[in-house]
Amino acid sequence: MAKIAFYTLGCKVNQADTASMENLFLRSGHQLVSFDGEADVYIINTCVVTNTGQRKSRQTIHRAIRKNPNALIVVTGCYPQTAAEEVKAIAGVDMIIGNQDRAQIVQLVEERLAHRQTDTLDAVHKLTASTAFEEMAAGDITDKTRAFLKIQEGCNQFCTYCIIPYARGPLRSRSLESIRTETQRLISAGFKEIVLIGIHLGCYGKENPDGPTLYDAVKTVLDVPGVQRLRLGSLESVEVEPRLLTLMQEDARFCRHLHLPLQSGCDKVLQAMHRPYTTAKFKTLLADIKNRVPDIAITTDVIAGFPGETEADFETTCKFAESCGFSKMHIFPFSARKGTPAEKFAGAVMEAVKKERADILGKIDETMHKTFLQAMVGQNAEVLFEQPAGEDYFEGLTGNYQRVFVKSGGHNLGGEILPVKITAFDGEKLFGEIIKD
């Protein structure tokens, strides 16, 4: 038995990949320990989506090497997949594993522990159209409230700023049968909410013209007895099928929350980004969604300071974002990624200007977010409780993804879904009272 310590950087898909790998080690009789303590094996699941992600990945690798120079240092994920030679050149790294072959990670680590060698073991494979979806079981060692089930991998969109298609490879999807079995297993383990995630979730099944679609995946989950809630991870606005919205209207278990990345509210910039919509199209889709599902929360991502974005373009983005009424907007200053087309685009925006624009968008977000929360006061919502918040309160999430705090009277509400009346918004948090029948 070895002591295994994981560190994860980046997105929810990466977190889900780590949770699956942790499961594999536990099932093979190994022990999971804190990354801050002594371990025999340190596994760093890396991120390269921004320069910061990549820098933090490198720092974490060095931290692990310093902590225990005799430990096995394994680097996995998007960094070795996109820059294998660079990672191998870090003295002290023993093994690199890309974004495939992680189902074999336990065997690879065990073999390496048994036969330590000085050269770095390279398990990074080219990801091609024939690469299959790696069907690892979802992680289940958390607090049993929300389970993240990865059903899709890869992306064929190639937005000009994005490194992800190079890091994650082409589209591939988990089979409906595997989605059904995994959902059954997670529900039996006690999970209340299933969150379907993927790199390009809306393209679920689209690698095969006759394949299933995201709607089929959603139906498959909802048809499993015992599922109390289903939520979707990020997807593109143009991939929200009308029948998905109909299902959301009809089935209260399907959470009324969609994360639809906007990235820019200026058509010139959207085109340069190679995004699959115009602002007019995005607005029409948004209006249709809000019409059909009035209490839905729409969250989004916006990039500030894309190359060529002028002051006027940025103002257009601000006005457009304000008019969309997002419940939350995540803002990212543009970060040029090596090997992407945007890295070489003319019209680079200065760092200080990017920051200034991100701050302005941040203020717009604050106003929209507060307006959304204030409008929820007086409404009733089903809250899935997660954890205590201080001595008296418990916190949980509504179906439309808002955090609510209720007085718990000392009761452990963890894992319960209860009806709550939203009673107040203090400018930061929502408060509520459990509705007793």
- Where does this chain bind ligand SF4 (CB under 6 A)? 155, 157-159, 162, 164-165, 199-200
Return the closest-CA partner of residue 20 out of 105, 97, 83, 91: 105
The whole-angstrom separation of Cα 332 and Cα 38 is 35
Residue type for 9, please?
Answer: L
Q: Which is nearer to ligand SF4, 160 or 316 (CB)?
A: 160
The whole-angstrom separation of Cα 195 and Cα 186 is 11
Q: Which is nearer to ligand SF4, 80 or 198 (CB)?
A: 198
Q: How far is the CB of 164 from ligand SF4 (least distance, A)?
A: 4
Q: How far is the CB of 273 from ligand SF4 (least distance, A)?
A: 8
Q: How far is the CB of 361 from ligand SF4 (least distance, A)?
A: 18
Q: Which is nearer to ligand SF4, 259 or 354 (CB)?
A: 259
Q: How far is the CB of 17 from ligand SF4 (least distance, A)?
A: 15
The gap from C-alpha 407 to its chain's centroid, in whole angstroms, comes to 30
The whole-angstrom separation of Cα 124 and Cα 126 is 7
The whole-angstrom separation of Cα 158 and Cα 199 is 12
The whole-angstrom separation of Cα 217 and Cα 204 is 8
Return the closest-CA partner of residue 55 out of 350, 337, 304, 273: 337
Q: How far is the CB of 159 from ligand SF4 (least distance, A)?
A: 3
Q: Which is nearer to ligand SF4, 120 or 340 (CB)?
A: 340
Q: Which is nearer to ligand SF4, 98 or 399 (CB)?
A: 98
Q: How far is the CB of 219 from ligand SF4 (least distance, A)?
A: 24
Q: Which is nearer to ligand SF4, 203 or 230 (CB)?
A: 203
Q: Which is nearer to ligand SF4, 5 or 78 (CB)?
A: 78
Q: How far is the CB of 180 from ligand SF4 (least distance, A)?
A: 26
Q: How far is the CB of 202 from ligand SF4 (least distance, A)?
A: 9
Q: Which is nearer to ligand SF4, 162 or 349 (CB)?
A: 162
Q: Which is nearer to ligand SF4, 63 or 206 (CB)?
A: 206
The whole-angstrom separation of Cα 437 and Cα 127 is 55
Q: Which is nearer to ligand SF4, 139 or 165 (CB)?
A: 165
| Spatial contact of 195 and 380, defined as CB atoms under 8 Å apart | no
The whole-angstrom separation of Cα 151 and Cα 133 is 9
Q: How far is the CB of 248 from ligand SF4 (least distance, A)?
A: 22
Q: How far is the CB of 259 from ligand SF4 (least distance, A)?
A: 12
The gap from C-alpha 93 to its chain's centroid, in whole angstroms, comes to 27
Q: Which is nearer to ligand SF4, 2 or 167 (CB)?
A: 167
Residue 433 exposed, middle or buried by CB count within 10 Å (0-12, 13-18, 19+) = middle
Q: How far is the CB of 155 from ligand SF4 (least distance, A)?
A: 3
